[in-house]
Amino acid sequence: AKELRCKTSDLVDKSVHAVGPLALGPATLAEIRTTVARLGYMYLETARTRADGSTYWAGIAFTAQRDADGKMVGLIAVSRDITDRRALVDQLVTAKADLERQMRVRADFIGTASHELRTPATTLRTLCALLVSKIAPRYSFGEEDRTLVGLLDRETKRLSLLVDDLL
């Protein structure tokens, strides 16, 4: 009665079908009975509307009521207001989805940055190697020219390593 915000007299000696806020129709109740008969218990989370019109989430544990011979003669249901827990679960699900989206954005960024940074660094290294292997033998490079080409080679290697470390 406290959970549903109604009077005890609204619930006592009434069928589950007769109490609107419980929201258990005959088909649902039959399914619950079948499951409890098979497994011995069942847990259900459902949205409910209280007598005052407010809504909440209920967690209901069903177990079998048995006679002295062990035959199931009814159901025992314990219901709890789990609205706060459900809200936390919803927040976690939302946070997980946001995190997954951020991870995808990060992966896309790293992929794009990798391509955009490695391509010019690789091109510069290739051009430097070509400069040394193809052009230097044709023309006489002075000591200063060789120093500059060596510096270009070292710096392009350094740039490539820096890009690799960064990514």
| Per-residue pLDDT at 150 exceeds 90 | no
Full DSSP string of 34-61: HHHHHHSEEEEEEEEE-TTS-EEEEEEE
58-103 residue pLDDT tens = 999 999 999 999 899 988 989 899 999 999 999 999 999 999 999 9
| pLDDT band (50, 70, 90) for residue 10 | confident
Would you tell me how many other CB atoms lie within 10 Å of the CB of residue 36? 20
Are residues 62 and 30 in contact, defined by beta-carbon separation less than 8 angstroms?
A: no
What local confidence, expressed as pLDDT, does residue 96 receive?
A: 97
Please state whether the predicted TM-score (pTM) of the whole model is above 0.85: no
Residues in CB range of 46: below 8 A, 6 or more apart: 23, 57, 58, 60
Query: Looking at 12-16, 29-33, 51-55, which range is the least confident one?
Result: 12-16
Comparing 141 with 48, the larger pLDDT belongs to 48
Q: What is the pLDDT of residue 23?
A: 66
